[in-house]
Amino acid sequence: MQHLESGNHEISMPYTSPEQLDKTVYALLSAINREADLRNCLVDAEIWEVETVRRWKQFK
């Protein structure tokens, strides 16, 4: 994971199919949400694939 100057983070996730990427991304968003819940916090997360228009969002 790399912290970018914009305040975003860059994570490399190898995958073999779009379905596998979806599953991995939603697992990551779930883990982020669980961690926030443990700390009584809210999550506003968006993940995007560089060089495509694919986006995943979670707002809670």
Instruction: State residue 58's pLDDT score.
Output: 77
| 6 within domain boundaries | no
Residue 19 CA: distances (Å) to CA of 22, 26, 59: 5, 11, 22
| 37 within domain boundaries | yes
| 10 within domain boundaries | no
Name the DSSP letter for residue 60: -
> Domain range for residue 25?
15-59
Q: How many domains does the chain have?
A: 1
pLDDT tens digits, one per residue of 13-59: 899 999 999 999 999 999 999 999 999 998 888 999 888 889 998 76
| 44 within domain boundaries | yes
CA distance linking residue 30 with residue 11, whole number of Å? 16
- In three-state form (DSSP H/G/I as H, E/B as E, the rest C), the secondary structure along 1-56 is CEECCCCCEECCCCCCCHHHHHHHHHHHHHHHHHHHHHCCCCCEEEEECCCCCCEE
Size (the chain), residues: 60
